[in-house]
Amino acid sequence: MFKKLLIAAALALSFAVSVVAQNTNSSTPPARRPAARRPAPLPTPSPTSNGGAQKVLPGTVEPADAVDPPATRTRRAGAGGAAQTAAAGATPAERAVRATFETLLNGIRKSDVEMVMSVYWNSPQLVIFNNNGTVTRSWEQVRSNRASSYPDAKNVQLEVRDVRVSMLGAGGATVSCLWTQTQEFRGTPESASGRLTVVFRLINNGWKIVHTHSSPSAPDPSRLLPSEQPSVPATDATKPPAQTRP
């Protein structure tokens, strides 16, 4: 009996050893995971010639503080730079007065009675000192004179220079200039030049002309006192620019 037990134990031990050997020979080692590779560092951006702004590499995100500032353009003052600068520095009231004055000039150039009279004070107290030495009083009389002469004026060319706007408090202003006007009146060419002063008042929230005074650049010597006779004849340098007669 004891001998049978030893034989059975030996058989069981042999069977177990064979199974272990079979498993060892048939199994494969587990796959080794590749080591994680660190990404190569990006090259450091180099400064460019645009004031130190960085060049962004393709495929990268540009940091917020590396965005180039927007380019700034600098305007150079041209031929009209001085006039534009003066206009830019004018007050709203000065610009409004100048706009009313331009309406007067454009109305004269177009021989437009209604446009011209729209800027005059509609009052019997309106007074105009004309270029020919006469005086016109009241809005109605000024309009009547314009309506009778404007249809006969053709090809009116009016130019002004040395225009100056002076404010007289909040409700008054003056505009002065030199003018030259050429036109055809009833088929005959004519030309004149002179000086002009226009007085404005703020009436019902609008600037109106209450008085104008125009005088020729070369007055008739016969109308001057001997003490007022010019010692030097007028030249082109002293003559005023073109403008129509207001």
**pLDDT, greater one: 58 or 188:** 188
Token pair recorded at residue 100 = 């009313």
The pLDDT-based confidence of 115 (bands split at 50, 70, 90) is: very high
Q: What is the CATH number of the domain that holds 189?
A: 3.10.450.50
Contact 106, 114 (CB under 8 A): no
Cα 83 to Cα 80, 100, 122, 162, 163: the distances in Å are 5, 18, 32, 11, 10
**pLDDT, greater one: 212 or 24:** 212
**Is residue 233, in this structure, part of any structural domain at all?**
no
**pLDDT, greater one: 11 or 71:** 11
- Comparing 65-74, 86-95, 131-140, 209-218, which segment has the lowest mean pLDDT? 65-74
Give me the pLDDT at residue 1, please: 52
pLDDT at 216 > cutoff 50: yes
**Is residue 149, in this structure, part of any structural domain at all?**
yes
pLDDT at 203 > cutoff 70: yes
Residue 162 Ramachandran class (φ > 0 left, ψ -120 to 50 alpha, else beta): left
**Is residue 64, in this structure, part of any structural domain at all?**
no
- DSSP structure string for 63-102: PGGGSPPPP---PPP-TTHHHHHHHHTS-HHHHHHHHHHH
**Is residue 183, in this structure, part of any structural domain at all?**
yes
Q: E strands along the chain, which residues?
A: 127-129, 135-137, 153-167, 172-185, 188-203, 206-216
**Is residue 191, in this structure, part of any structural domain at all?**
yes
Give me the pLDDT at residue 229, please: 82
**Is residue 151, in this structure, part of any structural domain at all?**
yes
Tell me which amino acid residue 105 is.
Answer: L
**Is residue 118, in this structure, part of any structural domain at all?**
yes
Q: Which residues span the domain enclosing 118?
A: 91-219
Give me the pLDDT at residue 79, please: 35
Give me the pLDDT at residue 228, please: 83
**Is residue 113, in this structure, part of any structural domain at all?**
yes
- Specify the number of domains making up the chain: 1
